[in-house]
Amino acid sequence: MTGLDLPGFADPVGDAQTTFRALLDAMARPGTLHEVADLAAPPPLGAASASVLLTLVDGETSLWLDASCMAARAWLVFHCGAVLTDDPATAAFAVSIGMPPLGIFCAGNDVAPEESATLVVQVEELGTGPAYRFSGPGLRLPSLLQVAGLPEDFPVQWTANHALYPRGIDLVLCAGARFCCLPRSVQIEMG
């Protein structure tokens, strides 16, 4: 199964815009939940992961696929025109089922912290599971979000990532049609 029989966005201009605005809001308000429109995503990707990648990735960006996502490879190459890379350290975007170790990706440098990778990570569920507490720019007060499927040491990994600031990885967590963003600027504790 290659997923190539599946279409991309029904309305490429409109759907990309709607998804991007949700992403922008999600990145600006870390940990807030957003939902994408229905999309026949290529397994194992859900609608949110697939929509986010369709919106942001193209022939000008390098994409790293975790072994778990290889089934969606042909779909991503065809619909995004993504340039695949085997080396996670050179990837602008990475997609994975479950959290890969953050340390293998580029965190940018002090002059160009924007050159860090953006990870699209599919978790089991958003809105149920262990609660995490977020604080930082974008949030008036600390907020809580339940995420099922993050590794136990995620808060420790994240603290190390946040400590690199302004360098650091930005995360998009996806489950089904739902997603949220965790920019490097956010602090995370177990809720």
Partner 1 sequence: MSFYNFAYLDEQTKRMVRRALLKAVAVPGHQVPFGSREMPLPYGWGTGGIQVTASILGRNDVLKVIDQGADDTTNAVSIRRFFARTAGVATTTRTAEASVIQTRHRIPETALREGQIVVYQVPLPEPLSRLEPSRAAASEMHALGDYGLMHVKLYEDIARLGHVSISYDYPVMVNRRYLMAPSPIPAFDNPKLNRSPALHLFGAGREKRIYAVPPYTEVRSLDFEDHPFRLTRAPQSCALCGARTSYLDEIVTDDMGGRMFICSDTDYCAERREKDAAE
Question: What is the contact surface with partner 1 in residues (CB under 8 A)?
Answer: 12-14, 16-18, 20-21, 23-25, 27-29, 55-58, 60-61, 92, 109-114, 116, 118, 137-140, 165-166, 170, 183-185
Give me the least distance between CB of 5 and partner 1, in Å please: 23
Distance CA 43, CA 177 (A): 13
Query: How far is residue 111's CA from residue 60's CA, in Å, rounded to a whole number?
Result: 21
Name the residue nearer to partner 1 (CB basis): 68 or 185.
185
Q: Which is nearer to partner 1, 32 or 68 (CB)?
A: 32
Question: Which one, 3 or 138, has the nearer CB to partner 1?
Answer: 138
Closest approach of Cβ 29 to partner 1, in Å?
Answer: 6
Its sign, for the CA torsion 16, 22, 26, 27, is positive
The sign of the CA dihedral 149, 151, 152, 156 is negative
In the bound complex, what is the minimum distance in angstroms from residue 32's beta carbon to partner 1? 10
Residue with tokens 């599919």: 122
> Considering the complex, what minimum distance in angstroms separates the CB of residue 184 from partner 1?
6
Q: Which is nearer to partner 1, 67 or 111 (CB)?
A: 111
DSSP string, 90-140: G-SEEEEESPPPGGGS----SS-GGGS-EEEEE-SEEEEEEEEEEESTT-S
